Amino acid sequence: MEASSLSLPPGFGAPVALFELGPPERTELSPALRVLTERWSGANVSVRAVCVAGPAFWQTQEIELCPALIDASVAALGDLA
C-alpha cells in the first residue's frame, strides 16, 4: 500500500470520500492515507477521509459485514446531498 500511487485526472472536480478500516482503537489515518488526502486537498479536490472500525474483510474467505462502514458511506453521501 505504501508503494501504491492513487491519482485523479487533471481538473477532477467531484468530492472524494475515503474510508480506512481498522481496529476500534485506531482513530488516526495511516501516514499513507494522510499524505494522499493532503496531496489531493492541495490540488483543490474536496476530500474527506475517516477511520472506520471494522473487520479486515479482504483477509478472509467468509462474508463479513461492516455496519460502521455502511453508516460512514451513507453519512458521506448525505453530506453531498
Tell me, yes or no, whether 55 lies in a domain.
yes
Judged against a pLDDT cut of 70, whether residue 2 lies above it is answered with no
Q: For 24, phi and psi rounded to 5 degrees? A: -55, -30
Tell me the pLDDT tens digit for each residue of 15-74: 999 999 999 898 899 998 999 999 999 999 999 999 999 887 777 788 888 899 999 999
Tell me, yes or no, whether 74 lies in a domain.
yes
Q: What's the pLDDT at 34?
A: 94
Tell me, yes or no, whether 12 lies in a domain.
no
Tell me, yes or no, whether 76 lies in a domain.
yes
Q: How many structural domains comprise the chain?
A: 1
Rounded Cα gap, residues 66 and 32, in angstroms: 23
The Cβ of residue 54 has, within 10 Å, a number of other Cβ atoms equal to 20
Residue 70, C-alpha cell as written in the block: 455502511
Q: What's the pLDDT at 5?
A: 77
Judged against a pLDDT cut of 70, whether residue 76 lies above it is answered with yes
Tell me, yes or no, whether 51 lies in a domain.
yes
Judged against a pLDDT cut of 70, whether residue 1 lies above it is answered with no
